[in-house]
Structure 1
C-alpha cells in the first residue's frame, strides 16, 4: 500500500536517493531541503505524489510550516526519515565549541524537533514509522570525530527510548547505522577544525586524513542503502537498529566483543557495588 514519506536533507546522499526510490515505487513523498531548488529535479516527474518542502531543521517555524504543508497535501504522514545532518573533523581538544554546538543543533535537536512536530499526527493515526539516520559512529567511537560520535550516540539513545514510548501507540522506530557510503558526508558536509595539536597527529589527524582520502571511494552504495531502508519499512517486524555496510557490521560486532570482555573481566567488581543482600 502506498505510504506518505517525509524525508529531510534530500539535496544529497541518502535523502536524495531514498526520495527517488520511494517515489519510483509509487509512494507519496515530501522531499525536504533547505533550498527547494536542489530537489526540484526529484519532484518534477511526480506532480501528483511529490512536493518539495523548504526545511532548515534548526528553525522551529520552518519545521512547523513544513509539517503542516505535508499534512495539508497528503492528509497523513506514515514514514518520517530524519536524514538531515552534518559532520565535523577534529580531535576533541581541538574542536571549536561554536561548531560543535551547531552540529548538535542539526544532528540532535533538529532531529528531535522535527520528530516532535510529526508525532501528534502519528499518534492520532495510531500508526507510523520514524527512521533516524545515525551512523556506526553512534555505536563505536573513532579518533578525530569524537563530537560527531557524540551526536550520533545521542541519536541512538534518544531513538531507543522513543521506540519504547511510542510502541504501544502503533508507532515504530528504526535507527539507521551506516558505515562509509559514497555520499557527501566526508566532503562539503563536514568541516575541519582549524586547530591542530601535534600530539594527536597519529590518532585524530591520521583518521581524519584517511576518511577524507577515502571520500568518493567508500564501498557503500547509497542506491542500495535506499532499497535496504525501504525493505525495513515494508517489513512486518522492522529492526530497531539497521546496520548498513560490511564495515558497520564488523565494527558493531567488534564493539560487542569488547563490551563482553570488559563486563566479564570486571563482573565481581560490578556486582560488589550493590548493597549486600
Structure 2
C-alpha cells in the first residue's frame, strides 16, 4: 500500500537511499534538505510522487513549513523518518561549548522539531509511525564520542518516552541503532574534526582523527540494505520499538545489556537498602 513518507536529510547518504527506494516501491515521498533543488536532482528530477522541500532541522519554522507542504501536496503524512544528523568528534575537553550545542541542536533538537511539526497531522489521522535514527553510540559511550553520544543518548530517552505519549493515538515509534555503515557521516561535510588544543590530548587527538578518517569508505554496513530494512519496518503493522542495525550494533548492545545487569547486581547490596525505615 502506498504511503506518504517524509525523510529528513534526503540529499545524500542514507537519506538518499531511503527516498530512492521508497519512490521505486511506489510511495509518495517528501524528501527534505537544506537545498531542495539538489535533493530533487539527486533523486532523478521532478516526479509525481516526489516533493523536495527545504528543511533545516534546527529550524522549527522550517519543520512546520515542510509538514504543511507535505499535507498540501499529498493530503497526509504516514511515516516520518528522522535521518538528518552530523558528527562533532573529539575528546570532551577539546569540544567547545558551541560545538556541543550545535551537535545537540542537530541530532536531538532537530528530530524533535520535525516530530513536533508532524505529530498534529498524525494525531488527526489517528495513525502514523515515527522512525528516528539513533546509533549504537546512543547505547554505548566511547572514546572521542562525547558530543555525539550525548546527542544520541538523548534521542533514546526522548523516543522511549514519546512512545508512551502517542501510542493511544495509534502512532508507532521505532528507534534505529546502526553500527558502522558506509554512509557519508564521516565525510568532512558531516563531521567536524577537533583541533589539538590541550597538550595532554594532542597526540591522542591526532592519532584518533587519522584512525577515524581511515575508516571512511571501509565501514562494513551497506546503507542500501539498511534503507531496505527501514522501509520493511515502515510497512509493518506492529513495528519494533527498537531496531539494532548491523552485526556490530547487535554485538555492542548485547555486551552493554550484560554490563548493565552486572552493574545492577553489583549495586544491590548498597543500593537495595536506601529507603526510609517506615517505607512499606
TM beyond 0.5: yes
* Contact 2:135 2:152 (8 Å CA) reproduced: yes
* Contact 2:196 2:202 (8 Å CA) reproduced: no
Aligned-residue offset at 1:46: 6.2
Partner SS, residue 93 of structure 1: helix
Map Cα deviations across residues 155-186 of structure 1 (whole Å, 9 max, x no partner): 11000000111011100000111011111111
Q: Which runs of 5+ in 1 are unaligned?
A: none
Report the RMSD for the aligned CA atoms in angstroms.
1.6
Matches within 5 A, 1:25-40: 25-40=25-40
Alignment correspondent of 1:17: 17
Give the TM-score, by structure 2 length.
0.94
Distance 2:176 2:126 in 1: 23
Distance 1:199 1:86 in 2: 26
Partner SS, residue 172 of structure 1: strand
Alignment correspondent of 1:264: 265
* Contact 2:59 2:113 (8 Å CA) reproduced: no
Count of residue pairs the alignment pairs up? 277
Alignment correspondent of 1:54: 54
Aligned-residue offset at 1:58: 1.6
Distance 1:198 1:218 in 2: 31
* Contact 1:144 1:208 (8 Å CA) reproduced: no
Question: Measured at CA, do residues 204 and 195 of structure 1 come closer, stay the same or move farther in structure 2, by a change above 3 Å?
Answer: closer
Answer yes or no: is 1:195 the counterpart of 2:212: no
Map Cα deviations across residues 132-161 of structure 1 (whole Å, 9 max, x no partner): 111000000011011110000001100000
Partner SS, residue 141 of structure 1: coil
Alignment correspondent of 2:178: 178
Distance 2:45 2:223 in 1: 21
Alignment correspondent of 1:217: 218
Matches within 5 A, 1:123-134: 123-134=123-134
Q: Which runs of 5+ in 2 are unaligned?
A: none
Matches within 5 A, 1:58-207: 58-188=58-188, 189-200=190-201, 207=208
Alignment correspondent of 2:275: 274
Partner SS, residue 184 of structure 1: coil
Question: Measured at CA, do residues 183 and 96 of structure 1 come closer, stay the same or move farther in structure 2, by a change above 3 Å?
Answer: same
Distance 1:177 1:171 in 2: 20
* Contact 1:126 1:170 (8 Å CA) reproduced: yes
Distance 1:183 1:274 in 2: 49
Distance 1:213 1:199 in 2: 23
Distance 2:139 2:202 in 1: 24
Aligned-residue offset at 1:42: 4.6
Distance 2:228 2:128 in 1: 19
Distance 2:203 2:244 in 1: 28
* Contact 2:58 2:110 (8 Å CA) reproduced: yes
Question: Measured at CA, do residues 203 and 13 of structure 1 come closer, stay the same or move farther in structure 2, by a change above 3 Å?
Answer: same
Distance 1:275 1:67 in 2: 50
Aligned-residue offset at 1:206: 5.0
Partner SS, residue 32 of structure 2: strand
Distance 1:18 1:207 in 2: 31
Map Cα deviations across residues 238-263 of structure 1 (whole Å, 9 max, x no partner): 11111111111111111011111111
Question: Measured at CA, do residues 222 and 207 of structure 1 come closer, stay the same or move farther in structure 2, by a change above 3 Å?
Answer: same
* Contact 2:32 2:53 (8 Å CA) reproduced: yes
Question: Measured at CA, do residues 259 and 182 of structure 1 come closer, stay the same or move farther in structure 2, by a change above 3 Å?
Answer: same
